């Protein structure tokens, strides 16, 4: 599916046609989108990330959704801490909570993954690409992953640029020339039946993926703007509730708990009627200026990648920086090429030792998991101790030079060689 998207974008580029990005392409088959319904429950004055709060919430959900009568199971989504509480509560209560299906929030998982990608790959080539469009405070936001939309959009652009770079490298091989002509014939046939205007060219996307079986939420009922369940909570209930609060004392919160959700919804409706609610960019995926800007960014990244040795066939070449051509050390190569395998192995050990708690393992094996420091191509940081030692050594050298010059003036003899200087320093 994703490869076909890359070939389509590569082909229409040669025809000077701009089509929407990956999201409309994947969701093109979804002709209509049903708007989701949102409801708040009264747990505002309870401590967050608490086991007791999760239990209270489950009791409310059980009654509201009439578990056992209208529904047999309920998918309950949460962030990392909430999901951990749900798993532990199911283990503690057993069959009583069989109706609860814990599900880790997609948005929170992706949000927590972005800093890991930055740590592993930023100094391996992302730094040079990020500096094209991100500078100063924006670059800091990107590298520190403090704003999800900025970091996520950057990785989406970079992913597509690398995909199209890989396709270019594949097409340039002599063995696939005939196959390329055949592909061009097929795509030309498809494009000839489509309207090529930028506003309607998303018709060329094709029937790729249907989201109706996935856990997603549509806030407005419009196409191309479904979000994850936990992301919808952050965007709707959480955000609107925070905007409706004008006092933060425990007494006021206890008073507001039961009617605050209705107050938040009323405030939102009033702002919409007065046209003062902040407009969201939910229609930008099929907006011509947005599509052109996205394509320009991706092509800029692609042009930079095409200047490197990326995806060039050379099996004997060691792992090198694609821009600086610096060769990675053995430890760096081992970590960068095998970090997925290390992660899978460590996860298996964690499951066996801490979740399953296998009785076949000894006490040493149960607690024998060692922390593994991933060695990336990031430049080695000089410790304060080394910096102070280097300053002290430089001061010693300067002092020796001064003494040598003073001795030379006193004896009226020039310094013959630098060897005498270092010999004098050692003495």
Instruction: Please give, one letter per residue, the 3-state secondary structure of the chain.
Output: CHHHHHHHHHHHHHCCCCCCCHHHHHCCCCCCCCCCCCCCCCCCCCCCCCHHHHHHHHHHHHHHCCECCCECCEEEEECHHHHHHHHHHHHHHHHHHCCEEEEECHHHHHHHHHHHHHHHHHHHCHHHHHHHHCCHHHHHHHHHCCCHHHHHHHHHHHHHHHHHHHHHHHHCCHHHHHHHHHHHHHHHHHHHCCCCCCCCHHHHCCCCCCCCCCCCEECCCCCCCEECHHHHHHHHHHHHHHHHCCCCCHHHHHHHCCCHHHHHHHHHHHHHHCCCCCCCCCCHHHCHHHHHHHHHHHHHHHHHHCCCCCCCCCCCCCCECCCCCCECCHHHHHHHHHHHHHHHHHHHHHHHHHHHCCCCCCHHHHCCCCCCCCCCCCCCCCCHHHHHHHHHHHHHHHHHHHHHHHHHHHHCCCCCCHHHHHHHHHC
Confidence of residue 261 (pLDDT cuts 50, 70, 90): low
Write down the pLDDT at residue 301: 92
Residue 154 pLDDT class (50, 70, 90 cuts): very high
Pairing outcome for strands 74-78 and 100-104: parallel
> What average pLDDT does this structure show over 137-166?
90
Could you tell me the two tokens for 45?
Answer: 């004055």
Q: At 212, is the pLDDT very low, low, confident or very high (cuts 50, 70, 90)?
A: very low
> Which value, in Å, is the radius of gyration of the alpha carbons in the chain?
30
pLDDT at 262 over 70: no
Provide the residue ranges of all domains of the chain, joining segments of one domain with +. 2-32+108-305, 51-105, 328-380, 384-426
Q: Look at the block and give the residue holding tokens 């489509």.
A: 194
Q: Give me the pLDDT at residue 208, please.
A: 29
Distance CA 137, CA 144 (A): 10
pLDDT, tens digit (0-9, with 9 covering 90-100), for 389-421: 888 888 898 988 888 888 888 888 777 655 444
Q: What is the pLDDT of residues 321-371, one digit of tens each?
A: 888 888 888 888 888 888 888 888 888 877 777 777 777 666 566 555 566
Output the pLDDT for position 207: 31
Average of per-residue pLDDT values in the chain: 76
Nearest CA to 309 among 296, 291, 295, 327?
327
Position 214 confidence tier, pLDDT thresholds 50, 70, 90: low
Question: What contacts 121, CB < 8 A, 6 or more positions away?
Answer: 376
Task: Name the band, by pLDDT with cuts 50, 70 and 90, for residue 255.
Answer: low
And the tokens for 156? 């989406």
Residues 267-307 pLDDT 10s: 767 777 766 655 554 457 777 888 888 889 999 999 999 88
**Alpha-carbon distances, residue 402 vs 16, 69, 75, 413 (angstroms):** 70, 93, 77, 15
256 pLDDT more than 70: no
pLDDT score, position 424: 45
Would you tell me how many other CB atoms lie within 10 Å of the CB of residue 22? 19
CB 250 within 8 A of CB 45: yes
- Residue whose C-alpha is closest to residue 169's, from 53, 25, 308: 308
Contact between 164 and 10 under an 8 Å Cβ cutoff? The reply is yes
């Amino acid at each position: 599916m994703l490869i076909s998207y890359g070939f389509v974008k590569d082909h229409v580029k040669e025809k000077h046609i701009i089509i929407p990005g990956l999201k409309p392409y994947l969701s093109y088959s979804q002709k209509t989108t049903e708007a989701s319904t949102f409801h708040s429950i009264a747990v505002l004055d309870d401590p967050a990330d608490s086991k007791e709060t999760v239990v209270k919430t489950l009791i409310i959900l059980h009654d509201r959704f009439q578990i056992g009568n209208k529904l047999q199971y309920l998918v309950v989504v949460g962030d990392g801490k909430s999901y951990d509480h749900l798993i532990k509560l199911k283990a503690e209560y057993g069959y009583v909570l069989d109706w609860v299906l814990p599900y880790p929030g997609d948005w929170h998982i992706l949000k927590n993954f972005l800093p890991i990608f930055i740590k592993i790959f930023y100094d391996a080539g992302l730094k040079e690409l990020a500096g094209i469009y991100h500078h100063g405070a924006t670059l800091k936001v990107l590298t520190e992953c403090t704003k999800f939309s900025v970091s996520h959009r950057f990785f989406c652009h970079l992913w597509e640029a690398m995909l199209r770079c890989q396709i270019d490298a594949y097409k340039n091989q002599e063995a696939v020339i005939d196959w390329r002509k055949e592909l061009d014939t097929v795509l030309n046939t498809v494009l000839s039946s489509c309207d090529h205007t930028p506003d309607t060219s998303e018709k060329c996307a094709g029937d790729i993926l249907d989201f109706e079986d996935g856990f997603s939420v549509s806030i407005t009922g419009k196409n191309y703007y479904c979000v994850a369940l936990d992301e919808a909570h952050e965007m709707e209930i959480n955000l609107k509730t925070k905007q409706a609060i004008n006092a933060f004392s425990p007494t006021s919160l206890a008073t507001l708990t039961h009617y605050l959700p209705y107050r938040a919804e009323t405030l939102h409706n009033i702002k919409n009627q007065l046209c003062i609610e902040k407009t969201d960019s939910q229609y930008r995926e099929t907006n011509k200026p947005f599509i052109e800007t996205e394509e320009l960014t991706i092509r800029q990244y692609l042009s930079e990648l095409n200047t490197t040795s990326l995806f060039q066939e050379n099996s004997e070449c060691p792992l090198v920086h694609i821009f600086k051509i610096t060769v990675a050390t053995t430890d760096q190569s081992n970590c960068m090429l095998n970090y997925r395998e290390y992660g899978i192995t460590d996860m298996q050990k964690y499951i066996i030792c801490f979740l399953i708690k296998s009785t076949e393992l000894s006490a040493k094996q149960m607690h024998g998991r060692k922390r593994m420091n991933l060695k990336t191509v990031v430049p080695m940081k000089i410790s304060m101790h080394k910096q102070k030692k280097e300053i002290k050594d430089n001061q010693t050298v300067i002092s020796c030079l001064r003494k040598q010059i003073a001795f030379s003036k006193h004896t009226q003899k020039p310094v013959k060689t630098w060897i005498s200087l270092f010999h004098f320093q050692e003495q």
